[in-house]
Structure 1
């Protein structure tokens, strides 16, 4: 019998196909799990029920772990060292999942699902299909503890249902962070009860630029509006958490503040405040540094903290053009009173005030790599987006860093060097092969410094991604490649091997109605 390596994405750390008969699900198959892993077992059972129409009861694990034949058995074991790690053994007698914690059991279940036909991800029952999985042994754990994708909801608003679908697919790829960019110059999307104008005014813009902003084609006269209520956010956060995905909120400061300042002009520095922006690019609008503005930001963050239990909170910190601070006499007097040499150090001081506030409430500050300028906050985590230099500097400083470099993991970029064959994008070229070939650990770092690189993340800035369908198209299959970068070892199989597995993997996206860009140029080659 010829043994065929299954099309698993991301590639497990160790995977051995066994020369034994496959495992076949039937209407009598049951799941057995101890209380510690019952949640993962229930989630697997729910997916199998959708796909087959069969019952798949989840029963208490037998003391000797010897349930009836053809069962799926979960075993809790401290011998699995990593909390997200697992082992999986599949034979004709059934499937055995061993994990130390529910997260590992959940990821084992995602791997097991990929061993069945792609229709296992369908929402319609298919009891007529042969539900077989090959005999196999897998031992697996993630390379990085931060495996993320960022979605920008500030530029264009995505319905919660669409984001839940997106999270479903991310979880199948073993991502564990959904970075939610909620506010920017072009929109404020999170309800803050103490400041209702943020959504009454800040969540609406009168139009959007037509075509690419560099062409100056004017506006489209189509209003854009929408925000997430706190009830919707709590529901979404719980939904993601059930799939072992943390939701990281981003509340921009001191720049990217135009929607907030349009809502409350006293937070800014202009005699005549500007409306919520209808154009893309870097804006000059900054928060001022008055005590009342810090009180506002602390009030906002207090409500944000109550909605998001994740230990990290992102404060932006990027692209804060300092012209308004330079031109404002009160800000200059404040800078001098603090004994600071320039506006870069004033931004560092600004961020350190927020860091102190967050730390007192059990939260860790995350910012884009501009937070290095003027001095890095002591406990801040740096997202390195302008290449790798920010991560290198942070790691040498002793701070954690997450690799998000343009262009390797910027999914708003084109997916080929012929943009005329693609939907309109912001520019750049980040094809599938470039994403899969990306190595997150900079060669300049020592082994000790490299431990500060805690993960990798893909970015979906939505200036040119106006719909949820386009979001999926730009994310997949590049997110599939990133999942392998984040989970699998540096010595993972090459791109050709990944592409061969992807041909089957795309059928899994098909049955979920996930839109993606077919990698035809690689297949034809």
Structure 2
């Protein structure tokens, strides 16, 4: 713990000046738009060179808090004496309201203090982000509108997904993205760490997953791992467990949970490349058959998946694992006589049923570890694309408690999943896929997204946890392209997840976005 010199309360009051200030609520330049705000007739003005003490009764990441105030030009330190504080971050577990909500008081009349109160640490951090956006610099002074903000998120699940299997970007880039997620009050980082092109997470029991399985990306799918080493000697394309734990801490300091994705049964080529015995077709060929599926009827393969999940759970404390489950090419199961015999023996009528059967076994395994599963909406057993060669499940039903992430198919599938009792994260690709071009998904279209589809009402709407926006990596070989696709549409997604639809206003959003544009251009993120 670091302690700095304390300002005497009387001297502190002299540093806080009030000048006449009038503004409409809509002029608070904050993204996402707060639920409610009252602007007073005064502005808070602070000298450019000053020191402020921070008091908090919450377990916040203090280094991060100090870095935010340092960015704003406010030198600060923590004090254990509330009376000496000019900034209060107060946890009040009895305060009513949704998790993540907060109250921010920047009204100069209240003991000359900046006060944020919330019933969770996440709420305190959200209030800090609002304060961060309100404070500005003007020559020799630091200023903010005098206001009281009472804010709460519309949805609890406000996620950004990064695909690092197809192209690997590394810790420094991910930390920058986490910083901007925090600025926008997004609270879930969905980390797509494995897929066909490359395996990006160290699993100690299976070292070939990284020594072989990591040595490809979407731009080099035809290279052997030996050719990769020859072309890119020493290039590391995965995260060690120590690095992942560091990222978990970094994200937690910013109020963000990390949810890793470990794909089953498809998008598994990287792991099958390392261990061909895992694959349905590859085990017969004794080498990778690209696009293969895990042979989930083989107890040894199921044991491998359990082992991987055990190590993943030890790294990520969120206790939610994304299992993928999308775009499985059932041909690899159809061509195996032993899999067909297994299905007949266990009265499993379709390959969609077989997938649900396997997913449910993993769901129960995770539940036994105190964890929950989420997966793309194919895990329901529906033929989401109405493909002629795919039969929907006829018998197996998805295990209760599983979270369904909708990405494709008729929007009525969201309603169907909710009718069947499942919570849903709405990631409708037509609005939330950030890898799509700006011609396909312009900013205004992204902003128009409502996670609650038509036809839902009453308590059913509460089953929509929120939204996820996805940055798939096929066409994202470098950070320049990554930033171009993400910024500024991530701001639209953040506001869709936080702000009630009735309060959304695209014209006002684009006006408030100008401040973000300045910030993101200074960092080199805004490429439009």
Same structural fold, with TM-score higher than 0.5 when normalized by the shorter chain: yes
> SS of the residue aligned with 2:465?
strand
473 and 430 in structure 1: CA distance in 2 versus 1, 3 angstrom threshold? same
For the 8 Å contact 2:313–2:319, the answer to whether it is kept is no
* Equivalent in 16, 24, 33 of residue 38 of structure 2: 16
* Cα offset, 1:6, TM superposition: 2.3
1:515 to 2:528 alignment: no
- How does 1:82-481 map onto structure 2 within 5 Å? 82-92=98-108, 93-117=112-136, 129-205=140-216, 208=219, 226-270=237-281, 271-275=284-288, 283-373=291-381, 374=393, 375-387=397-409, 388-416=411-439, 429-481=440-492
For the 8 Å contact 1:23–1:135, the answer to whether it is kept is no
In the alignment, the residues of structure 2 paired with residue 371 and residue 439 of structure 1 have an alpha-carbon distance, to the nearest angstrom, of 23
Which stretches in structure 1 are left out of the alignment for 5+ residues? 120-126, 211-220, 278-282, 417-428, 519-525
In the alignment, the residues of structure 2 paired with residue 356 and residue 74 of structure 1 have an alpha-carbon distance, to the nearest angstrom, of 40
> SS of the residue aligned with 2:266?
coil
The answer for the alignment partner of 1:425 in structure 2 is none
* Cα offset, 1:470, TM superposition: 1.8
In the alignment, the residues of structure 2 paired with residue 490 and residue 25 of structure 1 have an alpha-carbon distance, to the nearest angstrom, of 39
For the 8 Å contact 1:87–1:98, the answer to whether it is kept is yes
Q: Deviations over 1:201-244 (max 9, x none)?
A: 1111287279xxxxxxxxxx976861111111111111111111
The answer for the alignment partner of 1:422 in structure 2 is none
Q: Deviations over 1:457-488 (max 9, x none)?
A: 10000000111232122111111011101011
TM-score, normalised to structure 1, is 0.86
> SS of the residue aligned with 1:378?
coil
129 and 194 in structure 1: CA distance in 2 versus 1, 3 angstrom threshold? farther
42 and 265 in structure 1: CA distance in 2 versus 1, 3 angstrom threshold? closer
In the alignment, the residues of structure 2 paired with residue 3 and residue 476 of structure 1 have an alpha-carbon distance, to the nearest angstrom, of 28
> SS of the residue aligned with 1:157?
coil
* Cα offset, 1:258, TM superposition: 1.0
The answer for the alignment partner of 2:18 in structure 1 is none
* Equivalent in 86, 95, 98 of residue 79 of structure 1: 95
* Cα offset, 1:114, TM superposition: 0.4
1:46 to 2:46 alignment: no
In the alignment, the residues of structure 1 paired with residue 354 and residue 302 of structure 2 have an alpha-carbon distance, to the nearest angstrom, of 14
* Cα offset, 1:25, TM superposition: 5.0
Paired residues, number: 476
1:59 to 2:79 alignment: yes
The answer for the alignment partner of 1:216 in structure 2 is none
The answer for the alignment partner of 1:123 in structure 2 is none
In the alignment, the residues of structure 2 paired with residue 103 and residue 31 of structure 1 have an alpha-carbon distance, to the nearest angstrom, of 21
* Cα offset, 1:400, TM superposition: 0.7
128 and 19 in structure 1: CA distance in 2 versus 1, 3 angstrom threshold? closer
> SS of the residue aligned with 2:149?
strand
- How does 1:17-32 map onto structure 2 within 5 Å? 17-24=39-46, 26-32=48-54
For the 8 Å contact 1:253–1:287, the answer to whether it is kept is no
For the 8 Å contact 2:57–2:91, the answer to whether it is kept is no
In the alignment, the residues of structure 2 paired with residue 409 and residue 431 of structure 1 have an alpha-carbon distance, to the nearest angstrom, of 11
In the alignment, the residues of structure 2 paired with residue 116 and residue 133 of structure 1 have an alpha-carbon distance, to the nearest angstrom, of 5
> SS of the residue aligned with 2:425?
strand
For the 8 Å contact 1:192–1:300, the answer to whether it is kept is yes
In the alignment, the residues of structure 1 paired with residue 505 and residue 155 of structure 2 have an alpha-carbon distance, to the nearest angstrom, of 19
For the 8 Å contact 2:293–2:333, the answer to whether it is kept is no
* Equivalent in 492, 503, 521 of residue 514 of structure 2: 503
Q: Deviations over 1:397-451 (max 9, x none)?
A: 11111000111000000012xxxxxxxxxxxx11110111111111222312211
* Cα offset, 1:504, TM superposition: 1.8
For the 8 Å contact 1:29–1:72, the answer to whether it is kept is no
292 and 209 in structure 1: CA distance in 2 versus 1, 3 angstrom threshold? closer
For the 8 Å contact 1:8–1:505, the answer to whether it is kept is no
Deviates more, 1:228-237 or 1:1-10: 1-10
168 and 435 in structure 1: CA distance in 2 versus 1, 3 angstrom threshold? same
For the 8 Å contact 2:57–2:90, the answer to whether it is kept is no
Q: Deviations over 1:159-202 (max 9, x none)?
A: 11110111011011000000000111111111100001111111
* Cα offset, 1:390, TM superposition: 3.4
